[in-house]
Structure 1
């Protein structure tokens, strides 16, 4: 009986892997192999012009990072961007979801209207905001209309990155708003009714019931926000025409990797930087997992 059950289990396992094999092959070719190849490149000096060659350089690409000034500028910009954008878009998404979860008039219209920035192309959004921030754009026109001084929003290193932050908070928060909205509708109404009977007000119900119930969703939103902000590329590239300017103010990690890989053709060092970025994201995710871990029941 045990032999027959063992053969049956083996046959079922083989059938399962056979059904999974197309997905395994696709993921292996387009996910696992590129990762392994990037790790391989990070330990080599690669020549892509003429005859392709790989010269083993050991840890030279990683040692080079310590003296790369632009790397630390890009890492600082990326961390600053993530520290401001992720909490802002998470809080805004939660507030919008809480408002749209109420029994408001025309709430379906507002749900659709708030979600529209998410379905708009990122490149189109950047061009719209560049027009708004332009010296002759909408923002300066409105400031001039009310008698306030105009400003060079795109040319000042102190505010260039802030302009990208505002755009991303506005365009990304609606996506997380939908996730929060779905989670809010799963919270039993009986919990709020019981709290109301005990004399809890709106703020206490929100802080004691809503926020704890949304803890797993908040973890997901924050993790996806961190990953998204650390992968910032297209907005920074279009804003600065690929330079990361003005004065490296909009230079991010992914834009720096792009510059080394496709402008300088230094694939080995670019792969090492990509490996560093992956390690940073994984470490931040682990820390978040520890902060958001659920209490274990005895």
Structure 2
């Protein structure tokens, strides 16, 4: 009897692995093996034309001494994260509060706000190129003559605005799900105790949304550190490298430069991974720390 049960468990386990095997094969080949090979390439000199030559941490040293990385890509990336993440988090939270009310045409507005998130980022980038062209709609409405995407002072902010526009809808739905998961009885008890709307927001809504806030901020930080397609389509890192970020610099070193530096690009990719990991752990400690402080 016991052998039959054990055999049934083995068959069930094999069936389970058989069902997930297509995803598992893709994950192992295109994620695990690719990640391991990228880490290996980061310790080599490789230009795609000759076999990789081991040179240890030379690639990392060159990255950390590179002027374009230190003066443009690294500051631009952190600037992008520090501006976009707070604004898109706040905006999506406001939209979620609005969509959580009993409004007319509520489903219509939810669809409209979410629509940019399901549209191709390349398509939206092209639309923004037309909007902010010298003869584009924005200049015609405002009466300005600014060449927004060819000016180092404005190009990066246009890309930031587009990213906020396209991601707020998705984050709004996440916040909306978190808001609807808060029991109404908690708010009713607070009202009986005499709490006003502001007190309920800061002492009930925000604390109970803390896991959601952490998830939204984490997703936003990772996405902003990895921004590439919008920059590739709209400015190609220009003008004057004012929109060059770490991910675009990886692409530039690996594929675009006349002298391909795949090993150095892989080293930069590893460094970017470590930066994202460190920032994520830091923000987790900050959010959890603020939560424990509020509870005390």
Q: TM-score, normalised by structure 2?
A: 0.90
CA distance in 1, matches of 2:52, 2:108: 57
Structure 1 residues without counterparts, runs of 5 or longer: none
- Which residue of structure 2 lines up, in the alignment, with residue 103 of structure 1? 102
Q: CA deviation at 1:257?
A: 0.4
* Cα distance change, pair 60–14 in 1 and its aligned pair in 2 (3 A): farther
Superposed CA deviations along residues 18-61 of structure 1, whole A, max 9, x for unmatched, are 73361443321111100100011011111322xx3111111110
- Which residue of structure 2 lines up, in the alignment, with residue 45 of structure 1? 45
- Which residue of structure 2 lines up, in the alignment, with residue 32 of structure 1? 32
CA distance in 2, matches of 1:17, 1:214: 39
Q: CA deviation at 1:67?
A: 2.1
Map 1:216-295 onto structure 2 (within 5 A): 216-240=211-235, 242=236, 244-264=237-257, 265-293=260-288, 295=292
Where 1:151 maps in the other structure, the secondary structure is coil
Structure 2 residues without counterparts, runs of 5 or longer: none
- Which residue of structure 1 lines up, in the alignment, with residue 149 of structure 2? 154
CA distance in 1, matches of 2:38, 2:11: 32
Where 1:104 maps in the other structure, the secondary structure is coil
CA distance in 1, matches of 2:134, 2:24: 52
Q: CA deviation at 1:14?
A: 8.4
Query: What CA RMSD, in Å, does the superposition of the two structures yield over aligned residues?
Result: 2.3
CA distance in 2, matches of 1:120, 1:41: 35
List structure 1 segments (4+ residues) > 2 angstroms apart after TM superposition.
7-21, 23-26, 292-297
Number of equivalences: 286
Map 1:162-181 onto structure 2 (within 5 A): 162-181=157-176
CA distance in 2, matches of 1:150, 1:15: 67
CA distance in 1, matches of 2:218, 2:154: 26
* Cα distance change, pair 13–84 in 1 and its aligned pair in 2 (3 A): farther
